[in-house]
């Protein structure tokens, strides 16, 4: 694999990415193991589909800023909108981070991570919500979640946000190809993160920078520990 540069790390360089089935972008080394896992799941009646793969820095910045400006809802753990106006800037940052990564800090930048669902479990007009309830109990993707729990690791995939560690909310739909993702993780450090986040386009920049150590510990590095 070609060496990883900082622009790849922060989602600004797509040279190592390839299209999966002509649409979703994933790291080139992820395509083969993903297809092998998908084929194995298909043998048991599951149709793994990717709703989101690589996400660029610009896209993540737009998501972050729209939430910080109140243009896109920020949800609490029950799925209810948070009243951002009642929060300090620090608490706004922590509320947004519960569900959305900072630009430059998202695992989706690398093409190693993806959000998936089971297209065979729902009708064609189903409106995907990507909420934990869809992947548990009587949810339509519960069987997929259980299958992943048993088989994903055999293909090199993990679910980095399967459990609530007090940072990112549980995301049972989020898969990561660990053999490649780990190479990106190893390049993340405080110097790099501070450099990319000290960006005058980033809403709540001062609150982010002044709480960077807490953000790193709670939201960036615990994913696969």
DSSP secondary structure of the chain: -PPPPHHHHTT---TTEEEETTTEEEEHHHHHHHHHHHHHHHTTT--EEEEE----HHHHHHHHHHHHTTSS--B-TTSPBP-GGGS-HHHHHHHHHTT-PPTT--GGGGTSEEEEEEGGGS-TT------GGGGSTTSTTHHHHHHHHHHGGGGTEE-TTSS--SSSPP-TTEEEEHHHHHHHHTT--HHHHHHHH--TTSTTHHHHHHTHHHHIIIIISGGG-
Average pLDDT estimate for 83-87: 95
Average pLDDT estimate for 206-218: 96
Band (pLDDT 50/70/90 cuts) for residue 221 is: confident
CA distance 25 to 53: 6
pLDDT of residue 224: 55
Q: What is the pTM of this model?
A: 0.94
Give the C-alpha distances (Å, rounded to integers) separating 126 from 48, 115, 119.
15, 16, 9
Question: Which domains occur in the chain, in start order?
Answer: 6-224 (3.30.1380.10)
For residue range 96-153, list pLDDT tens digits in order.
999 999 999 999 999 999 999 999 999 999 999 999 999 999 999 999 999 999 999 9
């Amino acid at each position: 694999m070609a060496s990883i540069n900082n622009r790849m790390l922060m989602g600004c360089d797509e040279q190592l990415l390839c299209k999966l089935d002509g649409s979703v972008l994933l790291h080139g080394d992820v395509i083969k193991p993903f297809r092998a896992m998908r084929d194995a799941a298909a043998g048991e009646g599951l149709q793994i589909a990717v709703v989101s793969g690589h996400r660029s820095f610009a896209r993540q910045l737009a998501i972050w800023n729209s939430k910080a400006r109140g243009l896109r809802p920020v949800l609490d753990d029950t799925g209810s909108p948070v009243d951002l106006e009642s929060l300090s800037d620090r608490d706004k940052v922590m509320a947004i981070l519960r569900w959305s990564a900072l630009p430059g800090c998202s695992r989706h930048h690398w093409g190693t991570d993806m959000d998936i669902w089971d297209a065979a479990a729902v009708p064609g007009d189903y409106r995907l919500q990507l909420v934990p309830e869809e992947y548990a109990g009587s949810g339509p993707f519960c069987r997929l979640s259980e299958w992943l729990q048993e088989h994903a690791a055999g293909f090199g995939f993990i679910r980095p946000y399967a459990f609530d560690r007090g940072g990112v909310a549980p995301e049972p739909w989020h898969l990561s190809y660990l053999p490649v993702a780990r190479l990106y993780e190893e390049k993340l450090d405080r110097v790099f993160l501070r450099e990319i986040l000290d960006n005058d386009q980033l809403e709540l920049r001062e609150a982010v920078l002044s709480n960077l150590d807490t953000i790193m510990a709670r939201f960036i590095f615990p994913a696969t520990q």
